[in-house]
Structure 1
Amino acid sequence: MRQLIELQQQLVPDLLGVMRKRYMILHQVMLSDTIGRRTLANALDMTERVLRAETDFLKEQGLLEIHTAGMRISEQGRRALEQLEPLYKSMFGLSDLEEKLRRAYGLSQVVIVQGDSDTSVQTKRELGRAACQVLRTALRPRDVVAVTGGTTIVQVANQLTTTTVMKDIWFVPARGGLGESLDYQANTLASTMAKRTGGHYRLLHVPDHLGEEAFASLMQEPNIREIVDVIRSARIVVHGIGDAMIMARRRKLDDEVVSAIEAEGALAEAFGFYFDRNGAVVHQMQTVGLRLEDIVNTELVIGVAGGKNKGEAIAAVMRFGHNDVLVTDEAAALEMVRLLEESQMPDKEL
């Protein structure tokens, strides 16, 4: 494929430019559900005159639908995007970036979407769409899927569609709630995923952080014990990745604990565990739900996170060594590569 692309660039360089422009138009419309021409032109930094010519062409090809409320991508357009995605990634270097990270962290798959989710809501939505594709491919009949909370996993839940109906799949929260907005809690996201796919869900109505006595007491309750056993039987875990200090404060940990975690060099948080830059667990919370040994033994662990500012945190969790798939964005991936190259540089002589 690379040789073909290089030949195209030499013989018909305009072709790749036109292809990229039309791909980006379709992609942006898909992410936006419905969008007006002016808004789309601004998002793509394109004049309305040029955009009108391109959207009229795409409509004639049956790839776009244009209504009074705005433009929508057609089903044919969605299929075209899926088929073009590997070519697009090869053209603009994302395939090489995926392979570099896959090898560096010993992953079975890396999926990189264009952009920086720190600055673009559309990029975060694209993270969700890409993670949905990975999950849809991996699902088997009667699977149990454990999901964590967080704003990125919200996008995964919201991007699932009724075309992924698998009525015997169970979605469960990986752990208790954070005590924050219900929209971001694992319980909410597990139920959303089940409803959007026609599957089933179980909920875990317990706090995220428990003292030893409360934990021991809860684990004696038959109903709690039953749902915990289901959670720990999950074949697939879908989780986000957060900055350690931000997550510690969101979870309202004691100041002494926060200081201790910081002193241990914690950079990242995932599924309630705090990791240093080498991927070592420096703190874990007493929580009902997945334990470290459950993560280690889970068949498929999918990490979904992006944004340049999270690059170091994502790298720390990948060094933990028990993720199988990483879905991230270009900004985070480039930061991870920079960190890898920096770590491989010989120390400068004093």
Structure 2
Amino acid sequence: MRQILDIQKRLLPDLTDVLKKRYTILHHISTTGVVGRRALATHLELSERVLRGEVDFLREQGLLETESSGMKLSDSGRQLLEDMEPIVKELLGLSDLEETLRTRFSLRQVVIVPGDSDVSELTKKEVGRAGAAALRRYASKNDVVAVAGGSTLAEVANFLTPSVQMKGCMFVPARGGLGESVELQANSIASTMAKKAGGQYRLLHVPDHLGEEAYVSLMQDPNILEIVEVIRSARIVVHGIGDAMVMARRRKVDSQTIQELMAEGALAEAFGYYFDREGNVVHKMQTVGLRLEDIQETEVVIAVAGGKSKGEAIAAVMKFGHEDVLVTDEAAATELLKFI
């Protein structure tokens, strides 16, 4: 396939541009579900005249359907979009980038979607869709799946669907709540994933950041201890990756600890741990839930994070070396190359 694409790029470059444009249109409609032409033109930065011609063509091919509320993909459109994905990745050079990162960080799989989550909500949604697909791929019946919080993980939850391989899965929060928006907390994401996938869930009603005395007290509660044991038995962990300083402030960490994190060179945060540029753990929070030793024993660890601004943070966590799957976007992946 690559040889054919190389020939096409050289002899028919216009055809390649048309393919990319039509794929982008179908892809955006797929991500949004139903969308009006004017809104789509704005998102794609196309004139309504140009978009009208493309939409008319796609509709004539049976790839789009029109409703009173807007356009949506037909079944044929969804199938074609799925078939086109590996071709478009070759055209954009994403397949080579996936393999480069997979080899460098010794991962089972790297999935890269086009775009930059920092500037496009649709790209963030697509990262979520790809994260949901990765989870479906690696899950098996009756697994315990521990999930972290955050906006990207919320998108993963939104794109889960019932599947045979996820039947009977138990979804649990990887840790306590951050005090952020309820829908972005690990508890909410775990329950959404269970409902979307047709599984079950358990919740952990404790704060994420605890003092030593509060931690010891909670861990003596038999109800808390029981759910924590379930969480720590997870076969799959799905988590995001954050900028260290941003996450410290979200956790309302005191100024002295923030100064210490800066002095230690903390760049990234994942599952309550802070990592420096080389992937070393430089700080950990006292948290009920998954511990570092649990992550190291987990069979499948899936990181889902995108955006150019997170490139260095993602690299730091990848260098830690206990990830199995990375789902990210083109901007973050390109930035990652600078830190290999």
Q: TM-score range by the shorter chain?
A: over 0.9
How far off is 1:49 after superposition? 2.3
> How far does the alpha carbon of each residue in 1:162-205 deviate from its partner, in whole angstroms, 9 at most, with x for none?
46784401110000001121111000000001111111000000
Distance across 2 between alignment mates of 1:37 and 1:201 = 39
**AA of the residue aligned to 1:307:** G
**AA of the residue aligned to 1:323:** E
Q: Match for residue 347 of structure 1? A: none
Q: Match for residue 316 of structure 1? A: 316
Q: Match for residue 142 of structure 1? A: 142
Asked if 1:151 is matched to 2:151, the reply is yes
Q: Match for residue 7 of structure 2? A: 7
Worse-superposed segment, 197-206 or 60-69: 60-69
SS of the equivalent of 1:266 reads coil
Q: Match for residue 282 of structure 1? A: 282
Q: Is the 8 A contact 2:177 2:208 kept in 1?
A: yes
SS of the equivalent of 2:323 reads coil
**AA of the residue aligned to 2:131:** A
Q: 1:123-134 maps to which residues of 2 (within 5 A)?
A: 123-134=123-134
CA RMSD of aligned residues (A): 1.4
The TM-score normalised by the length of structure 2 is 0.97
SS of the equivalent of 2:78 reads helix
How far off is 1:241 after superposition? 0.5
Distance across 1 between alignment mates of 2:196 and 2:125 = 16
Q: Is the 8 A contact 1:241 1:269 kept in 2?
A: yes
Distance of aligned partners of 1:323 and 1:45 in 2 relative to their CA distance in 1, 3 Å threshold: same
> How far does the alpha carbon of each residue in 1:121-175 deviate from its partner, in whole angstroms, 9 at most, with x for none?
1110010001011111111001111000011111111122346784401110000
Query: Identity percentage over the alignment?
Result: 64
Asked if 1:299 is matched to 2:280, the reply is no
Distance across 1 between alignment mates of 2:166 and 2:290 = 24
Q: Is the 8 A contact 1:308 1:331 kept in 2?
A: yes
How far off is 1:44 after superposition? 1.8
Q: Match for residue 67 of structure 1? A: 67
Asked if 1:239 is matched to 2:236, the reply is no
Q: Match for residue 16 of structure 2? A: 16
Worse-superposed segment, 235-244 or 42-51: 42-51
Q: Match for residue 51 of structure 2? A: 51
Q: Match for residue 102 of structure 1? A: 102
The TM-score normalised by the length of structure 1 is 0.94
Q: Match for residue 256 of structure 2? A: 256
Worse-superposed segment, 224-233 or 165-174: 165-174
Q: Match for residue 229 of structure 2? A: 229
Distance across 2 between alignment mates of 1:67 and 1:165 = 33
Worse-superposed segment, 130-139 or 39-48: 39-48
SS of the equivalent of 1:288 reads coil
Q: Is the 8 A contact 2:35 2:72 kept in 1?
A: yes
How far off is 1:12 after superposition? 3.4
> How far does the alpha carbon of each residue in 1:54-98 deviate from its partner, in whole angstroms, 9 at most, with x for none?
212222222111112111112221221111101100011111111
Asked if 1:31 is matched to 2:35, the reply is no
Runs (4+) of structure 1 exceeding 4 A deviation are 162-165
Q: Match for residue 182 of structure 1? A: 182
Distance across 2 between alignment mates of 1:94 and 1:130 = 14
Q: Is the 8 A contact 2:136 2:165 kept in 1?
A: no
**AA of the residue aligned to 1:73:** L
SS of the equivalent of 2:302 reads strand
Distance across 1 between alignment mates of 2:246 and 2:106 = 28
Distance across 2 between alignment mates of 1:166 and 1:130 = 16
Q: Is the 8 A contact 2:136 2:166 kept in 1?
A: no
Worse-superposed segment, 16-25 or 189-198: 16-25
**AA of the residue aligned to 2:104:** A
SS of the equivalent of 2:267 reads strand
How far off is 1:337 after superposition? 0.7
Q: Is the 8 A contact 2:140 2:165 kept in 1?
A: no
Distance across 1 between alignment mates of 2:136 and 2:76 = 20
Distance across 1 between alignment mates of 2:327 and 2:100 = 14
**AA of the residue aligned to 2:89:** K
Distance across 2 between alignment mates of 1:196 and 1:93 = 33
Distance across 2 between alignment mates of 1:260 and 1:75 = 54
Gaps of 5+ in 2: none
How far off is 1:9 after superposition? 2.4
